[in-house]
Structure 1
Amino acid sequence: MRISFDGVFIHGISQYSVSEIPEDGYLKDFDIAVDIIQKQHPNPYRFHSKESITKKIDSLRTIVKKDPSYTNLLIHNPTRIIGDGHSNFSADSNYFEDVLSSIYFFPLQIYVHNNELYVNGDNPYHIEVGSQILEINNVTAPDLLKAVPKAADGNIKVEDVDLPFYIPFILKNHPQDFTLKYKTLTGENKTAKLSGIQYPRFYYEAKHAILPIDLISESYGIYGYKIDADTYYLSIKSFSYDESFFYERLKKYFQEIKDLSSKKLIIDIRNNSGGAISNVPLLYSFIAKDKSFNNEYQYATKVVDIKYTDYLVDPQTNRYYSDKDIADQNNFMRQRFDKAEKGDYYFGNSRLDNTYIKNYPRDGLFFDGKVIVLTNNHTFSAATYFASLFKSEKRGEIVGKETGSCSNFTTAAWFLTYRLPNTKAVISIPRTEIFFNNNDKENVSNCKGVIPDHTISSNDFLTSLKAHKDPELEYSLTLFFKK
C-alpha cells in the first residue's frame, strides 16, 4: 500500500497499532525532533531568529501536549516552522495505515488556484466541476489552507497542496460526514451534506481527478510528444537519474524535436522535486543559445560533523548506524568541506563534486527555437535551479506559479535520517545548503522562488478545468500564438 503524507510516500503492511504508543511518547518524540533540528540542521535560523523559532516551537508543543495523537504530531511537527522545504517529518507506514483505516475522507477532489478552492472532478452529488468551495464543517477555505502543512523554503506561499487528504486531520474529531458550502458556476451559494469515504475509495477518486492532466510523465519521469506541427512538449518530473541515463533520454527527445523541425518547445517541470544538480546544466545544454553558459553553484554548511548520533538509520535498509558508519560520514564531510577564514561556514572544496563544470558547453543537438517553461510550487530544489538558470540566461518565458524553493539557494545534498523511538516517525535533515550563481553565502536571507513571467487568471483556469484541459499548457500555446 502506498501512503502519502506531507509529500512523502511510504509503504507497508499494518503490523501494529497506534494504541501501543504511550501517551507521553508523542511529546518525547517532538522534543527529540527539536533537538535534532537545533544540533544538526546546516542553518536552522536562516529565515527566523532563534527567539522566533523557539516561540513557534513552544506553540506547536502545547498543541501536541493538549492532544497527544499520531496525526496531531505529524501536522504540528517542528520541521514545518524553520522554512526549509527539504527537512521532512513523515509517518511510520505501519502505524499510519492503522490511522488511515479508522477515518473518513472528504469525498470531493479539490484543486487550489489563486488561493481559492475548486471542485476538481465528477461526483455523485452533482456538484459541478469548477464550483468554488467556501466552507467545510464551518471552517472557511482560507482557514483550511492555512492549517495544511506546506513544504517550502523561507516564507514562500504554497497553494499546491493535497487538501482533500488533509481535511479529516485538520477538522475536529475526524468527522464521518461533511457540511459543504459552495458557490456554483452561476454565482449561487449552496449547501450540501456529504458522506465521508474510506481511504481505498479516496485513493481511487484522487487518481480520477481532472487536474493534473499530465499523469503519464508522473510514471515515466521523462516524457515528450508532438503537440502540433510547430510545438513539442517535454515533461521532466525529476533530476534524480544517473547522468548517462538522463542524457540518453534527452538525446532521444531532442533528436525527435530536430527530426520534426519543431520551432516551439514547452518544458514542463511542474511537480519536479529535484535530484542531482549536475543534471540541471545537462538539460539546459540542449536549449542554450550560446556555445557555453555559466553554471555556478557552491555547497556550504555550518555543521560538518554528525552532532546528534542517536536513532540514525540508513533509509534504504532501516538499519541503525554503527559508530563506524558515523565516523565514515564525518570523515567524508571533513575531507570535502573547509572552514572559511571569516564567519561560521564551511564551504565545499574541489574534492566535493567531480561532475561540477562552471563553463558548461552546449550540446550538439541543441534546440534554438522558442521555449516556455512551466513551473509550480512543487518545482523544487534542483528543478528550481533549472528555472533560475533559464531565467538568468533570458532563454524564454516561464508560465505557472512561483517555485517552492528559493531562486538563489536551497538546502539539499546528503541527508541524515532519524527514526524516533516512540512513534517510529522519521525525520530527515539535509546536511548542506547550495548557493546558485555566485550569491552571497553569508547574507542570503531574502528567499523568493523563481517568479513566473505569466500566471493563469481565475477565468482562464476555470475555462480549462471545465474543458478537462491543462490551464498552463493551454495558456502557453496561446502565448506562442501571440508572438
Structure 2
Amino acid sequence: MKKLCTFPLVVLSSVVFSQYSISEIPQDGYLKDFDITVDIIQKQHPNPYRFHSKEIIAKKIDSLRNIVKKDPGYISLLMNNPTKIIGDGHSSFSADSNYFENILSSLYFFPLQTYVQNGQLFVNGSNPYAIEVGSEIIEINNTSSSALLKAVPKAADGNIKVEDVDMSFYIPFVLKNQTNDFTLKYKTLKGEQKTAKVKGIKYPRYYYESRHSVLPVDLISESYGIYGYSIDSETYYLSVKSFSYDESFLYERLKKFFQEMKDLKAKKLIIDIRNNSGGAISNVPLLYSFIAKDKTFNNEYQYGTKVVDINYKDYLVDPQTSRYYSDKDIADQNNFMRQRFDKAEKGDYYFGNSRLDNTYIKSYPRDGIFFDGKIILLINNRTFSAATYFASLFKSEKRGEIIGKETGSCSNFTTAAWFLTYRLPNTKSVISIPRTEIFFNSNDKENVAKCTGVIPDHTVSTSFFLQSLKEQKDPELEYSLTLFSK
C-alpha cells in the first residue's frame, strides 16, 4: 500500500538507446522547469519549511536560479535543482534517461575509483598510473577534494553531512570537464606529495572500473538483498540491504538465517544495514523481533502532513507507466488521503488515523527463535528512511554497539510513504515529492526541528581504514571483529 524509500538527487540511469536529443530543449526551458519545480515544492511538499524559514529558502532558491539563468543547460539544472535546499532526502530531481544518455556520452570520467572516509578522498582501486590504493587525493584540476565533496549532490535530511557519494562519477559534472585530461595532486601512503596527469575515460569504461574497486567488499548482499553466513565458530554476519519486501518473504528469509545461528550456537552477531535505503516501515519491527531483549518492545510511529490534497495537478504522472493522471486518478488519491488523515485539534497537521495502517503493532512481540547474544550494527550515510528507524530502535533499546557513519535521514522522523511524481514539460526531468512525514517513538510532531541521523558509537579511524583498504578488507566489519575480541 505504501512505501518508504529514497532516491538520489540525480538518478544514475542505465544507458538506453536515445530517442531524442538534448539539443531539442529550448534555452529558456531549463529555467521554466526550475520555476515549475519550485511551485510544486511550495504547494505539494508535506512541510517544505521544516529546516529553513520561507525567507532563507527564498534566498537559496534565488541563488540557484541565478546559476541556472547564467548557465542554462541540463547539467546546470541537475546540479542546482530546487530540491537540494529544502533538507529532504526523499525529494528527488531525476534526469530523463534518454537525455541523460546524451550527457553521459559527452563526458570524460575520472579514471580512478575513489572512496571518502573522514572527509578525505582516497584512491579505491588499481589503475595504470601506478598510484597506490589508499593514496589521498588532495586536488583535481586545481579544485580541492573538500570543494568537490561539497559540490556533489547528496541525499540527506536536514543538514546531515554526507560523504558516502560516488565521487568519481560526479567529478566531471562538478568540474564541467569537456577534455580527457585530469591533473591531480595526491599524497602517497608514505606521505610524499606528488602530481599526476591522467586520461579521462568514457562511461562504459567508467562503469567497468566501478565494479572493480576495493570497496564495498560486500557485493553479494547487494544482489541478494538479505544474506547471512558464519564468520567463525561464534560470529554470524547478517546483511539486510532493503526493507522493500513482502512481509511473508522477509520473515521466511530471516527465519532461515536466525535458525542457522541457533543451530550453530552463535554468540555474536553483526547486522549490516549500510546502503539500506529503506522500504516498508512495518518490516522494521519484524527484523527487530528476532533480536529483542524482552518479550515485547515499543514500536511507535505516526504519519503526519500539512498537505492532504493534490494541489499541483499539472504534469502529474504514474511513475510505473509515465501515463499522465486523469481527473479521476487525482480524485481517487485525494479521497484515499482524506479518509486516512484527520486534522489535529491544534496546529496545521493532519495525522494518520486507525484506518491508515492495519499492519501497525505498537507493542510488538519477540519472535520465537530470537537471538540473545552480543550484537553490533553497521550503518552509514546511505542507511536511510525505514533503515534509519531500525537503527534508531536498536539504539533506543540499547541492544548493542553501532559502528560506521551517521545515517542519512533523521533519527526521530523522516519524510516518505506515498509519492507524487511529476514529469516536467521542457526537460522531461522527473521530480518526486513525498506526501507525508513519519515520526518515530513519540516525538513532538509539531515542533520537531532538530535533525541528526543515528550517530554511531564507533567510527573507523583513518589509519584503520587505510590498513583494511590495503588488505582489501571491509573496514567496519574488521573493526567489529576487533571490538568483539575485547
- Note the 1:237-248 alignment, pairs <5 A: 237-248=241-252
Deviates more, 1:367-376 or 1:168-177: 168-177
Residue matched to 2:58 = 54
Residue matched to 2:3 = none
Would you say the 8 A contact 1:264–1:370 is kept in 2? Answer: yes
Would you say the 8 A contact 2:9–2:92 is kept in 1? Answer: no
Residue matched to 1:334 = 338
- Alpha-carbon displacement from aligned partner over 1:347-381 (angstroms, at most 9, x marks no partner): 00000000000000000010000000000000000
Would you say the 8 A contact 2:273–2:387 is kept in 1? Answer: yes
Residue matched to 1:397 = 401
What SS does structure 2 have at the residue aligned with 1:179? strand
Cα distance, 1:98 vs structure 2:
1.0
Cα distance, 1:16 vs structure 2:
1.0
Cα distance, 1:316 vs structure 2:
0.5
Q: Partner letter of residue 361 of structure 1? A: P
TM-score by length of 2: 0.98
**2:254 is the alignment partner of 1:286:** no
What SS does structure 1 have at the residue aligned with 2:106? coil
Would you say the 8 A contact 2:403–2:459 is kept in 1? Answer: yes
Cα distance, 1:10 vs structure 2:
5.2
> Which stretches in structure 2 are left out of the alignment for 5+ residues?
1-6
Cα RMSD of the aligned pairs, angstroms, is: 1.1
What SS does structure 2 have at the residue aligned with 1:455? coil
Cα distance, 1:5 vs structure 2:
6.6
Would you say the 8 A contact 1:5–1:91 is kept in 2? Answer: no
Please list every run of at least 4 consecutive aligned residues from structure 1 whose deviation after the TM superposition is greater than 6 angstroms.
Answer: none
Cα distance, 1:174 vs structure 2:
3.0
Residue matched to 1:180 = 184
Match of 1:213 among 217, 232, 238: 217
Cα distance, 1:15 vs structure 2:
1.1
**2:266 is the alignment partner of 1:262:** yes
What SS does structure 2 have at the residue aligned with 1:101? helix
Separation in structure 2 between the aligned mates of residue 49 and residue 466 of structure 1, nearest angstrom: 46
Separation in structure 1 between the aligned mates of residue 14 and residue 48 of structure 2, nearest angstrom: 26
- Note the 1:191-230 alignment, pairs <5 A: 191-230=195-234
Separation in structure 1 between the aligned mates of residue 301 and residue 9 of structure 2, nearest angstrom: 31
Q: Partner letter of residue 392 of structure 1? A: S
Match of 1:475 among 462, 465, 479: 479
The total of aligned residue pairs comes to 480
**2:413 is the alignment partner of 1:383:** no
Cα distance, 1:172 vs structure 2:
3.5
What SS does structure 2 have at the residue aligned with 1:344? coil
- Note the 1:24-423 alignment, pairs <5 A: 24-423=28-427
> Which stretches in structure 1 are left out of the alignment for 5+ residues?
none
- Alpha-carbon displacement from aligned partner over 1:389-419 (angstroms, at most 9, x marks no partner): 0000000010000000000000000000000
Residue matched to 1:17 = 21
Would you say the 8 A contact 1:6–1:151 is kept in 2? Answer: no
Deviates more, 1:7-16 or 1:100-109: 7-16
Residue matched to 1:466 = 470
Cα distance, 1:290 vs structure 2:
0.3
Q: Partner letter of residue 276 of structure 1? A: A
Separation in structure 2 between the aligned mates of residue 238 and residue 425 of structure 1, nearest angstrom: 26
Residue matched to 1:431 = 435
Separation in structure 2 between the aligned mates of residue 440 and residue 79 of structure 1, nearest angstrom: 25
What SS does structure 1 have at the residue aligned with 2:32? helix
- Alpha-carbon displacement from aligned partner over 1:170-196 (angstroms, at most 9, x marks no partner): 103433210010001111110000000
Would you say the 8 A contact 2:135–2:188 is kept in 1? Answer: yes
Would you say the 8 A contact 2:138–2:144 is kept in 1? Answer: yes
Cα distance, 1:6 vs structure 2:
3.0
Separation in structure 2 between the aligned mates of residue 22 and residue 382 of structure 1, nearest angstrom: 40
Would you say the 8 A contact 1:119–1:130 is kept in 2? Answer: yes
Separation in structure 2 between the aligned mates of residue 325 and residue 246 of structure 1, nearest angstrom: 31
